Amino acid sequence: MALDCDYYKGPVDGELTVSKDGDLPLISGNMDVHDATIDIPLALVMSDSDTNAALDITVKAGDKVRFYNSGLYDVWVTGDATFKGTVKSPLCHGSLRRNTRQCPLFGYAFPNHSRSGGI
């Protein structure tokens, strides 16, 4: 499936299921992301919401995955991450490897000292 919205542009493959987990809905499954641009704006990260759900999602970042927000960051990555916990209190583990020589963040291009990191 291909998405084209403010926060995600590109294909996403996989399977997601919504079921019941106690008092919360459970969103579970696997997603393969490739040839995509992802924008996580600071306002979205900082926003407060009453929406909550349990998580059990594994995301694989394949070829040509770019996190981009003009003025904030521009980073190409590969790797995988698993998200558990809840939307309000997610627990994440995995690793993403940066595939670019520099890491532009908040308008400053940090040098490439390390190209991978755990989540």
> Taking residues 47-56, what's their average pLDDT?
84
* Chain-centroid distance, C-alpha 56: 14
According to the model, what pLDDT value does residue 49 have? 72
pLDDT in tens, 72-90: 788 889 999 999 999 888 8
CA torsion, points 81, 95, 45, 29, in degrees to nearest 10?
Answer: 0
Distance between CA atoms of 9 and 35, rounded to whole angstroms?
Answer: 9
- pLDDT at 116 exceeding the cut of 60: no
> Taking residues 58-81, what's their average pLDDT?
90
Distance between CA atoms of 30 and 15, rounded to whole angstroms?
Answer: 6
Residue 44, SS3 per DSSP: helix
> Taking residues 92-115, what's their average pLDDT?
68
In this structure, the number of other CB atoms found within 10 A of the CB of residue 69 comes to: 17
